[in-house]
Amino acid sequence: VERVGAPSSTPPKREGPPVLIWTTHDVNPAAMVESTVVGFAAANCYVVGCRETLEGVVIDPGTMDTEDTSELAAGVRRLNLNIRYILNTHGHPDHMSGNDYLKVAVGGEVLIHQLDALKLTDPVRNASRMFGMDMHVSPPDGLLKDGDVVSFGNLRLTVAHTPGHSSGGVVFIGDGYVFSGDTLFAGSIGRSDLPDSSDEGTVAYDVLVRAINERLLTLPDDTVVLCGHGPATTIGDERAHNPFLR
């Protein structure tokens, strides 16, 4: 059985010129951060690099489209980055389905929280079969847990476990910025009605809101939130205006 999203699979080629549009995020003088929208669910994929050492990571390559993945790799090369890690904020296919292709193209170890690791290889667990797809990729190279620090060059991203959208969902907290995955959006929060949204045996919505309050709203108001879908925002804006957090 061929693994969808693995380097050996051959999805249909898209005709026409490259379509990925890159956005630069000036969040910290020491960091290069660019994003582009990929995949069937229009997820944000981020390329993050240390300006001094040119070591970097890719966060949430959620596309199995070979042209998209090729353009992601080209974006990495344009920044002259040596990719150390491919990070998944969680194990849903719109955030991990390009892991295998990108690893072949630019290298890097795939890391995901330990509670979401099985989602990478199981289309039932990752909910893709629920939507009529069978998406799965290779197992991760390493497992993350709350409090871990992912280092590349002079940059550090701290792992904060934020279940509620996915039991192993995390955010990656940098110096003045945070990659929030599907935990927090501009004016909204992640859905909490998917299989395995939480492993705490309680209402996943309440788990998600508590995680946001305890792990994100404790950050300074000027912290830039780089979301899994949609535009960037700030902690202060979400604290003041997000209707789900009142």
- Sheet containing 177-181: order of strands: 149-152, 155-161, 170-173, 177-181, 224-227, 233-234
Per-residue pLDDT of the chain (246 residues; tens, 9 = 90+): 233 333 334 444 555 555 799 999 999 999 999 999 999 999 999 999 999 999 999 999 999 998 999 999 999 999 999 999 999 999 999 999 999 999 999 999 999 999 999 999 999 998 888 888 888 999 999 999 999 999 999 999 999 999 999 999 999 999 999 999 999 999 999 999 887 887 776 789 999 999 999 999 999 999 999 999 999 999 999 999 999 998
The CA distances from residue 97 to 154, 207, 212, 242, in Å, are 28, 26, 26, 30
> How many beta carbons lie within 10 A of that of residue 70, not counting itself?
15
Distance CA 7, CA 129 (A): 21
User: What is the SS3 assignment for 154?
Assistant: coil
| Burial profile 88-97: b = 16 or more Cβ within 10 angstroms, e = fewer | bbbbbbbbbb
Q: What angle do CA 207, 184, 119 make, to 5 degrees?
A: 65
